[in-house]
Amino acid sequence: MRSEPSKSHPLLPSEFDAQFYLSTCSKDLQSLDPDAAYQHFRSRRGDQNVFPSASAFLKDKLSDSKFPGDAKRICVSFNWRDYRDLNEDLRSLSPLEVVKHYLANGIYEPRQILSSARLLDRRFAVQAKLDRVAPDVSIQVVVHCYYYDILCGLHLYLRTLARLGAKILVLVVNDRIQDSVMDDFLGSLCTGGSNHEWFRMTNYGEDWSSFHLAFQQGLLIKSGVIYKIQTKKSANLGPDGGVAWTDEALQPICGSYSNVFDTTELLTHGMRSIVASSLCRQTGFGANKNMLYDYLEQLDLSVDAARNDSFCMGSMFAADAGFLHRYFSRLGQVDYKQESAGGTKFCGRYVGHAIERTIYYFASQVDGSQAVAWVD
């Protein structure tokens, strides 16, 4: 009876795993000891279909296009012995079968793959659901940034989105934020191949102008899902300046991988035009109503229908990219330098505060009453 090859051998290269290699060979070679297995491997080294270890096999099979920025990390961290031992249904499989199972199924399932890891990485499981529901969907996150400390507070949301393939676009309107600081922040999202960007924009006092200018400059994707986020900080948002408000606005739409999946599903296949936290509907009005009505007319929308529907919409939401392009195209040019009296102390001065509220009316009147999904 042959003995099972050892996990390691003092005279063999560290990158050679005899047990895995033999599982890729024919049955008549299974009795080879580690030294003989290595010599057999060396005799076949020129064959492209010969792999000395599970890591080498994974490196060959994983596609960077499917797992942007993650293929190298997976190859280094995956341990087929741990994966087999930690999952009872896999314990009868050979090393090669174990690795093939991981590639075909396990990478997309909430399974434990390392004995040293206490948490499960559910990201690829959600990515698989995204691929089934919305294959090749593009996700863009547009962040209006005046307060860098608040941007840092958004890091968890942005990293969650980035790890699912979203591209982050930060619109910086504060000249005191240095270039190197922004470069470091985007680098801290740790998503490898994702090409995140930031641009400087003119500060007109509120976030909607930056969002509109991004459209005019061709920075918004034309199809897919766009998240609109801003770094809010204001005394009228509570004693913490708006941190709790921001969490309540973002948690339902991007607070976890599952939230991102649910939001993306709602915005694909024409199901919804906008998805936002139900909190955004309950916040109140605030803006200059006369200015709002002027822009409703500019959008060729019904002012009478809008008078009976009070809400606050524009700060944080996710929307279908095509819908946003239709909205901005109809809105046309806007002079964001203009200021006006009216509204409340905090929301009355700026054109953007009125315009951002028109997007809800545009969705409901043009795309139908079910176009906006309010989620908790």
Q: Are residues 195 and 304 in the same domain?
A: yes
- Kindly state whether residue 281 falls inside one of the protein's structural domains: yes
Residue 5 confidence (pLDDT): 42
364 is a domain residue: yes
- Residue 362 covered by a domain: yes
Number of structural domains (the chain) is 3
Q: Which domain holds residue 69?
A: 61-121
Give domain status of residue 222, yes or no.
yes
> Given this model, what pLDDT does residue 1 score?
33
* Identity at 300, one-letter amino acid code: D
- 203: domain CATH number is 3.90.550
Same domain, 260 and 181: yes
Let me know whether 18 and 162 are in one domain: no
Asked whether residue 181 falls in the same domain as residue 218, the answer is yes
Is 140 found in the same domain as 66?
A: no
pLDDT digits (tens, 9 = 90+) for 322-355: 999 999 999 998 888 876 555 444 455 678 878 8
DSSP 205-244: SSSHHHHHHHHHTT-S-SSSEEEEEE----GGG-TTTTHH
Q: How far apart are CA 226 and CA 320, in angstroms?
A: 6
Q: What is the pLDDT of residue 252?
A: 94
26, 52, 78 — which closes off a domain? Answer: 52
Give domain status of residue 365, yes or no. Answer: yes
**In the chain, which stretches have pLDDT less than 50?**
1-11, 193, 343-346
What is the structure's pLDDT at 2?
37
Residues 11 and 98 in one domain: no
Cα–Cα distance measured from residue 219 to residue 217, given in angstroms and rounded to the nearest whole number: 6
Last residue of a domain, one of 74, 91, 121: 121
Q: Is residue 354 part of a domain?
A: yes
Task: Kindly report the backbone phi and psi dihedral angles of residue 222, in degrees, each rounded to the nearest multiple of 5, phi listed first.
Answer: -95, -20
Using alpha carbons only, what angle is made at residue 104 by residues 103 and 109, rounded to the nearest 5 degrees?
90
In a domain, 219, yes or no: yes
pLDDT for position 347: 53
CA dihedral 47, 50, 52, 58 (to 10 degrees): 120
* Residues in CB range of 312: below 8 A, 6 or more apart: 280, 281, 283, 284, 285, 286, 357
Residue pair 270/319 in contact (Cβ under 8 Å)? The answer is no
Residues 42 and 93 in one domain: no
My answer on whether 212 and 316 are in the same domain is yes
| Same domain membership, residue 314 and residue 258 | yes
pLDDT of amino acid 313: 62
> Regarding beta strands 167-172 and 372-375, do their DSSP bridges make them parallel or antiparallel, or are they unpaired?
unpaired
Is the same domain home to 252 and 288?
Answer: yes
The answer to whether residue 116 is domain-embedded is: yes
